[in-house]
Structure 1
């Protein structure tokens, strides 16, 4: 009977929210799914096209991190600036290079690739309209009251989804696609860059936080080359990786009343799928106890002990 009671207490302790100081509920470590959720077909096709496997890609980025103590030191330093555990940054980098792109053999290759964009002259826009003129339209007037880059660009993204996406406005037909893919991909839609595989719109959203915590100049959407240099330069990109993670942790604390900082699989999932504020709001109204990891975050939790050894 004592063993039965103890077992019940252990189940309750696992399933019931653990209260933090300040009223937050601590999301427990580990995966909620016993098996890895299905990997999207696009990721599978990219990996097959590269004549490699997810296991091979995981091992390649893991080995790159293990062999580069300087990079690990920079990750730790950046994590301190954003008050996060560096394992969250490791998870984001490993996830991106396992499922979205293949890692270069050396960190120096990322610097070389970033330098190749330094002199390029390109812009953010759609057809003949640049992004500055587009967001100056009256449809975006409600966003003008936001001074913080995160809320400003989140508001603008929301207007895009409600008003322009898939619609014809002012005689111009707009694609049924993400704001970032239509206006912020001068090469081809879906392209992300650098160590953290960050898209330009995400960088613009985090610009104010990065300026405050890392001291880098704020990004200007009229200077597309500078935005790309920021997300492609390994040193600067670490700041944007950390800012995205910090933001997701803050969103879940402020909106859903949950502390996700002890579950790198959840922060990795949010790094992968984005829109942490919207997802925190959906979770808060759903009645579910905990957020769940996707295929990307599941891998990070599954490999957590191995990834922690890199630090």
Structure 2
């Protein structure tokens, strides 16, 4: 009887796992759209201003991925730690450095920049009010007891969006702009940094996960210099890139019942747009079978075969 009960329990467990696995659809590789979506004017203008082209920028990041052994080894290492295919990190790097900024010629160059930022003194604030004082206002009370950096900062970001963005509160008018642009970019709005082109708010969201997996020191919004150094340092920024991709894959599996791990264009799209959990929820409600890539992810999928050949040689 005992053996029968054990086999019955085992069968039940396997059946449950099969049912869960069956309910998650795999998003196939490749693009859903036949043509690349429109590239934003800001990306075009930056490229023209630098007297270059998207093709030349792509060739430059591709060359770095082909030649720099240090970069290759670190991508492999963090990919293994976060249980993702290295193609996802490669896709995000290609997207950022084709459509955002030119990549430096060597992995080592990013260390120089990281050291330069570490010498600056600045804070995360808006109009003289530090961000940690700001999020202690009563409007953020519902976020107070939330555990986990990702959920906590996402809650604060949502409160900003609903109660402060473009609104007048206590006699003060707040900008109609993103939380990250208003409080977390003291040099100029829209600026992202380092090899992974991350912004500080994204890093603060991911700090618990990165600390848990990679054992890097947790970030603190009161220590802006440390946050910038972390996202400028190529060693730590790759961990944050991998963590963001892992979060995106998990969010779509949990909230949209979709496995996007075989489509680097979709993970690249989410890396570019941010807020993967909210996007997964919206997709689940949309009724569409599969998510669609944006201009950035479309480009990654177009070059997937070539990029996978590079990774195979590492």
Alignment TM class, shorter chain as reference:
over 0.9
Aligned-partner Cα distance in 2 for 1:33–1:253:
22
TM-score by length of structure 2 reads: 0.92
**C-alpha deviation, 1:22, in angstroms:** 5.5
Matches within 5 A, 1:61-100: 61-100=61-100
Give the match for residue 220 of structure 1.
220
Aligned-partner Cα distance in 2 for 1:20–1:74:
33
Residues 109-158 of structure 1 deviation map (CA, whole Å, 9 limit, x = unaligned) = 11111110112110001011001100000100101121110000000000
TM-score by length of structure 1 reads: 0.93
**C-alpha deviation, 1:20, in angstroms:** 7.2
Kept after mapping to 2: 8 A contact 1:206/1:244: yes
Kept after mapping to 2: 8 A contact 1:20/1:26: no
Give the match for residue 58 of structure 1.
58
**C-alpha deviation, 1:309, in angstroms:** 1.8
Aligned-partner Cα distance in 1 for 2:71–2:107:
8
Residue 284 of structure 2 corresponds to residue 284 of structure 1: yes
Residues 148-187 of structure 1 deviation map (CA, whole Å, 9 limit, x = unaligned) = 1000000000000000000111121100000000000010
Matches within 5 A, 1:164-183: 164-183=164-183
SS of structure 1 residue aligned to 2:33 = coil
Kept after mapping to 1: 8 A contact 2:70/2:107: no
Matches within 5 A, 1:265-276: 265-276=265-276
Aligned-partner Cα distance in 2 for 1:105–1:216:
26
Residues 281-309 of structure 1 deviation map (CA, whole Å, 9 limit, x = unaligned) = 11101100000000100111110111112
Matches within 5 A, 1:14-29: 21=21, 23-29=23-29
**C-alpha deviation, 1:23, in angstroms:** 2.1
Residue 31 of structure 2 corresponds to residue 35 of structure 1: no
Residue 160 of structure 2 corresponds to residue 152 of structure 1: no
Aligned-partner Cα distance in 1 for 2:20–2:52:
44
Aligned-partner Cα distance in 2 for 1:223–1:28:
42
Give the match for residue 192 of structure 1.
192
Give the match for residue 101 of structure 2.
101
Kept after mapping to 2: 8 A contact 1:265/1:301: yes
**C-alpha deviation, 1:273, in angstroms:** 0.5
Give the match for residue 5 of structure 1.
none
Unaligned runs of 5+ in 1: 1-18
**C-alpha deviation, 1:244, in angstroms:** 0.5
Residues 227-255 of structure 1 deviation map (CA, whole Å, 9 limit, x = unaligned) = 00000000000000001100000110111
Unaligned runs of 5+ in 2: 1-18
Kept after mapping to 1: 8 A contact 2:150/2:204: yes
Give the match for residue 162 of structure 1.
162
SS of structure 1 residue aligned to 2:280 = helix
Aligned residues, how many?
293
SS of structure 1 residue aligned to 2:23 = coil
Aligned-partner Cα distance in 2 for 1:205–1:230:
13
Residues 263-290 of structure 1 deviation map (CA, whole Å, 9 limit, x = unaligned) = 0000000000111111111110110000
SS of structure 2 residue aligned to 1:206 = helix
The CA RMSD measured in Å over matched residues stands at 1.0
Aligned-partner Cα distance in 2 for 1:278–1:255:
9
